[in-house]
Structure 1
Amino acid sequence: MTTRSTLLLGLAFLATSAFADMTYYVVGYPDTETGSFGVQIDNNGPITKLVTSSSTFPLWSILVPGVSATTPYKYVKLDPAGNPIVFESFTRSLAVDPTAIQTAYEVFDREVTDMKVPLVPLVYEPWEMSKTKIFDDGVIATIHLTGDTERWEGILKAPMEAQPMNANFRYINDKLVHSVDNITIAVSGKSSMEFNKQAIKLEFDTKANQTFFSRPSIKLRSESSDPTMIREKLYIDVLNAVGVPTQQGAWVRVFMNSKPVGLYLMVDDIGNSFLKQTVHHGDGGVVRGSLWQMNAPEVDRQGDLKYLGPTEDTYPKDCYKMKTLGGNPVTAPMTQLIQLMKSLEDFKPLEMNGGTYWESLIDVDGFLRNMAMEYLAGSWDAYWWSGSNYFLYFNPSLGTDNPPKGKWQWISTDFDGTFGDGDPTDTLTTYQAYADFSKHDRPMITKLIMQSPDLNKRFEQTLKDIVSYAFKPEALFPRLEAYEKMLEKDVAWDDSIDRSGYPGKTNAWT
Structure 2
Amino acid sequence: MNTLIFSFVLFLAIIGNVQSRDVKFSIITFGKKASVNIPKLNDTTVELKPSILHKSVQTVYVNGCPDEEFEYSYIIDGEAEPGVNVRKLPVGQTTTYNELIGRQETISKLKGMGYPEDQEWTRSYGKTELFDDSYIPTIIIDNSNVPKYFTSPYDFGAKDEKTKIPLNGITFILKETIFTDKNVETAQKSRYNDKVQFKVKLNDGHKLYKRKSLKFRASGAEDPSFLGESLYSDLAQTIGNPVHDKVFVRVYLEDGTPIGLYNMIDVTASKSFLKTEFYGDVKGKGNKEVGAIFECHSSDFEKGMSCENKKVVKDSEDKDKDSYSKKDEENDKKKIAALVEAFDKVDVNNESSINEFSKKWLDLDSFFKALCLEYLCGHWDSYWEYSGEVSVKRKRAEEEDGDDDEKKEDTKTTQANNNNKPTTEPKVEKRVTVNKPTNYVLYQDPRDSSDDNYKFFFIDQDFDQTFGVGKKVCGPECSYKQLIAEHQTRAAKVFLREGTLTRKKFENHLKSIVQHVFNPVALGRRIEEYERRYAHEILWDFNDATFRDRQDRNHTNRNLDHSQRKAISYSQHQQGLEDIKKYIEDRAKTVTKDLDFEWDATPMEPVEREIVIEEPEKQQLKFEKSAAPMNMMITTKSTILTVIIVIFLQLII
TM-score, normalised with respect to structure 2: 0.65
Separation in 2 of the partners of 1:463 and 1:93? Answer: 45
Instruction: Give the corresponding residue for 1:370.
Output: 370
- Percent of pairs with identical residues: 23
1:383 corresponds in structure 2 to: 383
Matches within 5 A, 1:177-196: 177-188=178-189, 192-196=190-194
2:218 to 218, 222, 231: 222
Structure 1 residues 232 and 56: alpha-carbon distance in aligned structure 2, compared to 1, 3 A threshold: same
Compared with structure 1, are the counterparts of its residues 255 and 473 closer, same or farther at alpha carbon in structure 2 (3 Å cutoff)? same
- Note the C-alpha offset of 1:292: 0.8
Q: What is the alpha-carbon distance in structure 1 between the residues aligned to residue 88 and residue 17 of structure 2? A: 16
Where does residue 249 of structure 1 map in the other structure? 246
**Residue 509 of structure 2, aligned match among 440, 449, 462:** 462
**Inter-CA distance 17–195: structure 2 relative to 1 (3 Å threshold):** farther
Q: Give the Å deviation of 1:163.
A: 2.2
Match of 1:142 among 138, 144, 151: 138
> Is this contact kept in 2: 1:379–1:417, CA < 8 A?
yes
Structure 1 partner of 2:448: 398
* 2:97 partner letter: A
- The code of the aligned residue for 2:72 comes to Y
Residue segments in structure 2 that go unaligned for 5+ positions in a row: 1-11, 313-323, 387-436, 553-557, 572-653
**1:252 and 1:265 in contact (8 A); partners too:** yes
Report if the CA contact (8 A) 1:354-1:455 is conserved: no
- Does the CA-based 8 Å contact 1:251-1:264 persist in structure 2? yes
2:287 corresponds, among 285, 288, 301, to 285
The residue matched to 1:458 in structure 2 has which SS?
A: helix
CA contact (8 A) 2:113 2:517 kept: yes
Q: Which has the higher contact order (CA 8 A, sep 6+)?
A: 2
Cα offsets for 1:60-80 (capped at 9, x unmatched): 1234465425321222332xx
Offset from partner CA, 1:59-109 (integer Å, 9 cap, x none): 11234465425321222332xxxx316543342111x32x44432211212
Partner of 1:428: helix, strand, or coil? coil
Aligned position for 2:156: 158
Aligned to 1:126: 120
Residues 138 and 396 of structure 1: is their aligned pair in 2 closer, same or farther, counting only changes over 3 Å? Answer: same
Q: Is the 8 A contact 2:349 2:501 kept in 1?
A: no
Q: What is the aligned partner in structure 2 of residue 509 from structure 1?
A: 570
Check whether the contact 2:215–2:266 (CA below 8 A) recurs between aligned residues: yes
Q: Which runs of 4+ in 1 moved over 6 A?
A: 11-14, 325-328, 350-354
Q: What does residue range 63-74 of structure 1 map to in structure 2 within 5 Å?
A: 63-64=61-62, 66-68=64-66, 70-74=69-73
- Report deviation, 1:349: 5.8
Could you report, residue by residue, the CA deviation over 1:117-137 in whole angstroms, capped at 9, with x for unpaired residues? 112102443112113331112
Could you tell me how far apart the structure 2 residues matched to 1:247 and 1:176 are?
A: 21
Shift of 1:353: 8.1
SS at match of 2:70: coil
Quote the offset at 1:227 in angstroms: 2.4
- Tell me the alpha carbon deviations over residues 301-321 of structure 1, each in whole angstroms, 9 at most, x when there is no partner: x2233324xxx8xx5xxxx32
Q: Which residue of 2 aligns with 1:480?
A: 527
Deviations along 1:314-366, one digit per CA (max 9) or x if unpaired, are x5xxxx32213899932523221123234436668689987257333211111
Q: 1:228 Cα deviation (Å)?
A: 2.9
- Asked if 1 retains the 8 angstrom alpha-carbon contact of 2:168 and 2:184, the reply is yes
* In structure 1, distance between residues paired with 2:130 and 2:484: 37
- What aligned pairs does 1:324-339 form with structure 2 within 5 A after superposition? 324=311, 329-332=327-330, 333-339=332-338
SS in 2 for 1:180: strand
Letter in 2 for 1:305: F
- Residue type matched to 1:130 in 2? Y
How do 1:422-501 and structure 2 match up within 5 A?
422=470, 424=472, 426-434=475-483, 437=486, 441-451=488-498, 453-496=500-543, 497-499=545-547, 500-501=550-551
- When structure 1 is superposed on structure 2, of 48-57 and 359-368 the one drifting more is 48-57
SS of 1:384's partner is: coil
- 8 Å CA contact retained: 2:484, 2:496: no
**Farther-moved stretch of structure 1 (147-156 vs 378-387):** 147-156
Q: 1:16 to 1:478 in 2, by over 3 A?
A: farther
Q: Which residue of 1 aligns with 2:228?
A: 231
3-state SS in 2 of match to 1:383 = coil
Farther-moved stretch of structure 1 (325-334 vs 387-396): 325-334
SS at match of 2:533: helix
Q: What's the CA shift string for 1:145-169, capped at 9, x where partnerless?
A: 1142464458841165312323212
Matches of 2:484 and 2:518, distance apart in 1: 21
Could you say which residue in structure 2 is the equivalent of 1:40?
37
Aligned-partner residue type, residue 478 of structure 2: T
Could you give the per-residue CA deviations for residues 425-466 of structure 1, whole angstroms, max 9, x where no partner exists? 54331101136646xx42112321235711001111111221
Task: Tell me how far 1:247 sits from its aligned partner.
Answer: 0.7
1:93 is the counterpart of 2:92: no
Amino acid in structure 2 at the alignment position of 1:213? Y
> Are 1:250 and 1:265, in contact at CA under 8 Å, matched by a contact in 2?
yes
Amino acid aligned to 2:362: I
Give the alignment's TM-score, normalised by structure 1.
0.82
Tell me: CA distance 1:404–1:353, structure 2 relative to 1, closer, same or farther (3 Å): closer
Q: Judging changes above 3 Å, is the alpha-carbon distance between structure 1 residues 228 and 404 closer, same or farther for their aligned structure 2 residues?
A: farther
Distance of 2:200 and 2:26 partners within structure 1: 27
| Counterpart pick for 1:321 among 303, 308, 312 | 308
What root-mean-square deviation, in Å, do the aligned CA atoms of Structure 1 and Structure 2 show? Answer: 3.2
Structure of higher CA gyration radius: 2
Structure 1 match to 2:96: 103
Counterpart in 2 of 1:169? 170
Paired position in structure 2 for 1:77: 76
Q: Deviations over 1:369-406 (max 9, x none)?
A: 1111111222122211012221111212226x8x9944
Q: Distance in 2 between matches of 1:150 and 1:143?
A: 14
Cα 1:91/1:443, change in 2 over 3 Å: same
Which of 46, 55, 69 lines up with 1:57 in the alignment? Answer: 55
Contact preservation (8 Å) 2:35, 2:48: yes
For 1:263-274, what aligned pairs fall within 5 Å after superposition? 263-270=261-268, 271-274=270-273
- Structure 2 equivalent of residue 276 of structure 1: 275
CA distance in 2, matches of 1:452, 1:289: 36
In the alignment, what sits opposite 1:116? 109
| Distance in 2, Cα, partners of 1:245 & 1:327 | 29
